[in-house]
Amino acid sequence: MTLTPHTSHRTVFVLTALMILMAAVWLSACGRKAAPVPPRYLPPPVVRDLAGRMTDNQMTLTWTLPAGDDGTGPAESVVVYRHRSVAGDAICPGCPPIYTPLATVPVDGGKGSEKRFSMVYRTQLERGYRYLFKVVARGRDGVPGSDSNLVQIDF
C-alpha cells in the first residue's frame, strides 16, 4: 500500500476523530466529579460542666450531659479521657496533649432529658504529675462530639 496525500489526510482525520470521541466518552463518564460527601448527622450534645474533686489520691469526675436541642442528636455513650505529664514541664503552646481513653460510660435513653454522671477514677494518682481530664459524648455509630471543658490537677 502506498501512501498518497489523500490517504494521509484521511488517516489523520480518522485518528483525530477517534481521539475526540475517546475524550468525550472519558469526560462524560460517571457524572460530575467532586470529592465524596460524608453522610449528614447531628452531633451529640457537648458537656460544659466537667468538674473534678480529689479525695484520698482518687479523682471523682462529675458532669451533666445536656438534653440537647434541635441542633444536636442523641448521645449513646460518653468517653472519659486522661492526659498525664510531668508537673514541672512547660505546656507547649499549640501542641495538643495526648489523651488516653479511661472509660466508656453508656447513656440510657439517648436524647430527651438532662443526665447527671459521676465517676471515680480509682487508679492512684502519682505525685509530681499534671493530669488533664475531658469527656466526649459519642452519638450514633460512635461519631464523637466536641470536647468538654478540661479539668486540670497538679498532684
8-17, 76-85, 103-112: segment of lowest average pLDDT: 103-112
**What are the structural domain ranges in the chain?**
51-154
Instruction: State if pTM tops 0.75.
Output: no
Q: Which of 136, 103, 125 is nearest to 54 (CA)?
A: 125
Residue whose C-alpha cell is 462530639: 145
Over residues 112-130, mean pLDDT? 78
Contact 148, 105 (CB under 8 A): no
Greater pLDDT, 8 or 133: 133
The C-alpha angle 17, 19, 22, rounded to 5 degrees, equals 110
More confident residue, 138 or 37: 138
88 pLDDT tier (thresholds 50, 70, 90) = confident
Q: Can you tell me the distance from the alpha carbon of 131 to that of 77, in angstroms, rounded to the nearest whole number?
A: 23
User: What's the rounded Cα separation, in Å, for the pair 19 and 72?
Assistant: 52
C-alpha cell at 22: 475517546
Taking the CA atoms of residue 38, residue 39, residue 41 and residue 47 in that order, the dihedral angle to the nearest 10 degrees is -30
51-154 maps to CATH 2.60.40.2150: yes
